[in-house]
Amino acid sequence: MDGNGRWAQARGLARVRGHEAGGERVEEIIRIAPQYGVRYLTLYAFSKENWQRPQHEVSFLMELLSGYLDQKLKKMMQNNVIFNAIGNLSDLPETIQKKIAYWIEEAKNNTGLTATFAFSYSSRFEIVEACRRIARRVRQGTLEPEAICEQTLSESLYTAGLPDPDLLIRTSGEMRISNFLLWQISYTELYVTEKCWPEFGEEEFAKALQDYQRRERRFGRSGETLPQVL
Ligand code: FPP
């Protein structure tokens, strides 16, 4: 969800106002995504690298997140959303960790959109942690090295149980992946828009999905067309 700072600065506002506006877009996209047939939505809210931002910005983002969990999650529950979080959650303030755990538990029997928030997330760190988990199983004697396959790694990531993404949307024109779901996006379609995240509303979301539908996905094979959902 890139471009919050630039969006604010272009309007003569403090960067944090961009994060506030970005938070509103999060709510909107989660609300409308199921209407477009989307069942899984993963939002990169805060990277492990983001801790290096100025202290006041980090504190603001934590406050925003805390308020979001207090105010918006109830609404997400009413919309049948399954709340999920990935990342090195133990880096977060304890109060926020507790709120996240509470809402994951509250939402576990919902059946609608799975909204996964990445907090203090780093894909490389996720892969390193997965390797550690696998190594421990080998040490315990419950896993043979020869039995380790792609599925073993997939099942050891934070995203275990979630399908790999079909589409990755990057806002604010950045042409890089920035340490996001590196393993999981091997065959994901990429969509880059010049719009900053606070400008990324329903119209832009629909445009991204329509663009995706025109793609021919091959997964390394000869060709296959996508089912039409729009
Ligand atoms: C990147 O924009 C955005 C972030 C580091 C924070 C993302 C947070 C939100 C969208 C709002 C909070 C989310 C929740 C769940 C309440 P940037 O600051 O790097 O912008 P720039 O690239 O223009 O500098």
Name the residue with tokens 């969509």.
191
Distance 214 CA to ligand 1 centre (A): 29
Number of domains in the chain: 1
Query: Residue 208 — very low, low, confident or very high, per pLDDT cuts 50/70/90?
Result: very high
pLDDT at 210 over 90: yes
Rounded-to-integer distance, Cα 78 and Cα 30, Å: 12
142 domain residue, yes or no: yes
For residue 2, indicate whether it is catalytic: yes
* Structural domain boundaries enclosing 153: 4-213
Domain of 188, CATH number, reads 3.40.1180.10
pLDDT in tens, 96-127: 999 999 999 999 999 999 999 999 999 999 99
Residue 124: in which H helix or E strand, if any?
helix 123-140
pLDDT in tens, 53-74: 999 999 999 999 999 999 999 9
26 domain residue, yes or no: yes
Query: Residue 146 — very low, low, confident or very high, per pLDDT cuts 50/70/90?
Result: very high
Distance 147 CA to ligand 1 centre (A): 40
The pTM of the full predicted model, rounded to 2 decimals, is 0.94
179 domain residue, yes or no: yes
For residue 109, indicate whether it is catalytic: no
Residues within a 6 A CB radius of ligand 1? 1-6, 19, 22-23, 26, 45-46, 50, 61, 64-65, 68, 117, 172, 197
Question: In this structure, are residues 95 and 66 in contact, taking their beta carbons and an 8 Å threshold?
Answer: yes
